[in-house]
Structure formats: C-alpha cells, structure tokens
Amino acid sequence: MKALVRGALCAAALWGTAALAQAETVERGDGGRKRADTGIYAQLGGGLEGYTGQLAPAVTPGFSYGAALGYRPHGLFAVELGYSGGLSDIDSRMGLLDDGEGGPDIVRNAGQVVVVGSFTNTRLQPYVLTGIGLDRYNVRNDARGAIRGFSDDTSGYVPAGAGLRYQVGNLITADARVNYNFLFDQDFAPGGGQAPGALDGRYAAMLSLGGTY
C-alpha cells in the first residue's frame, strides 16, 4: 500500500513538472510569435523605378525587379546582399530611332550591400537601410546605330531607403520598400560628364515576398 502511495506521489510530481515545463514552452512560444525571426532570409520582388533631376525628362519610369539574400543576427539588425534590375525607355524627344523590335531602351543590372536597421523587434517592422552599390547600364542599339548620346556604362551609387516588413507565420515574409539612390555619375546619358547633384538620382518602389530560414 505504501509503495502504491509513493508511486502515485512520484507520478503526480512528474506530471506536475511536465505540465509546468509545457506551460513555460507555450508561454515562450506565444512571445516568439510576436518577435521577429532571426537567421538567413531571402526574398524576390518587383516594382517601379525612375529618375530625378537631369535624367527625368530623358528616361521614362519603368519596371524594376530584384532579389535579396540577408542574415539577421538580431531582430533589429541585418546585413543584406541584393540584386536589382530595371527596364526603361528613352523619351522619344531625345531622338530615339525605333528599330521596330520593341523592348526596353536601357537595361540596368546592379548589385548592392546594405545594412538594415529596424525600429521594432516584432513581426511588423518598419526599417531603414543604406550601403553601397554598383550599376551596369546596357543601352540597346537601334537599326541605324546607338541611341543618340546614350552608351553602356558602369558606375556606383549609394542607396538610402525605408520599408515595412511583416512576417506571416513561421516562414513567409512580405516586404515593401522605397529607395533613393545617389548616383556617382550619369555617364550613360547625354551630358553625363557633369557630376550629378543630390537631386539627380534614381528612385524605386518594390514589393517582395520571401522567408526566413
């Protein structure tokens, strides 16, 4: 009888310990669902880009797309490697000689490294970013030669941006951001030898989907 009582007491103690541990796990899990995930993340997106200042009358806004691979060691900080591309047309008033094949007049490819700082450590995160990037412009030739004054070129830029990130569930992340890129030069365009000012740059708005792993 005493052995039975001792066994019952041991079982009760074990059950109570297990129940307490489970309650603590659930409590931590509830808190975790409110916090931003850390680790490696990846995302793909698309949007719109255009130019300001000297280039605004010459290059029309066009489609933008990109991908990013980042590492978030802490909920408030991340380092990100990004690729972006853009498809733009040159305004017809610049003397474009159409070859009848359609397609964009300027194809831009770029890579960048940025640091991302978030204002909250929750799943809904407003953030800012900055870093350094490199552009490659490819200007499409028409049937009668290069588009007047435009040429292929490689140059750098400094991105500055802000965005809003939201984690849906354990894996899916939705991201909306706007960037303004301060260009080192505009040599791909006519008169690009003149150093651009702060208002002579490129803006972009992009929506992305991805996840943290």
> What is d(CA 80, CA 118) in angstroms, rounded to the nearest whole number?
13
Query: pLDDT over 70 for what percent of the chain?
Result: 73
Tokens representing 35? 């916090």
Q: Rounded to two decimals, what is the model's pTM?
A: 0.76
State the average pLDDT for the chain.
Answer: 80
Say yes or no to pLDDT of 200 above 90: no
pLDDT reported for residue 93: 65
By the 8 A CB rule, do 46 and 206 touch? yes
How do residues 27-82 score in pLDDT, each as one tens digit? 344 445 577 788 999 999 999 999 998 888 889 999 999 999 999 998 899 999 99
> What is d(CA 24, CA 94) in angstroms, rounded to the nearest whole number?
68
Cβ-Cβ contacts under 8 Å for 132 (sequence gap 6 or more):
112, 113, 114, 156, 157, 158, 159
> What is d(CA 56, CA 200) in angstroms, rounded to the nearest whole number?
8
pLDDT reported for residue 193: 57
Domain positions in the chain are: 1-34, 37-212
pLDDT reported for residue 28: 41
H or E segment and range at residue 111: strand 106-118
Say yes or no to pLDDT of 145 above 60: no
Class of domain 37-212: mainly beta
How do residues 68-78 score in pLDDT, each as one tens digit? 999 999 889 99
pLDDT reported for residue 141: 65
Range 156-181 average pLDDT:
93
Mapping DSSP to helix (H, G, I), strand (E, B) and coil, where does residue 7 land? helix
Cβ-Cβ contacts under 8 Å for 112 (sequence gap 6 or more):
81, 82, 83, 84, 131, 132, 133, 134, 157, 159
Residue type, 171: L
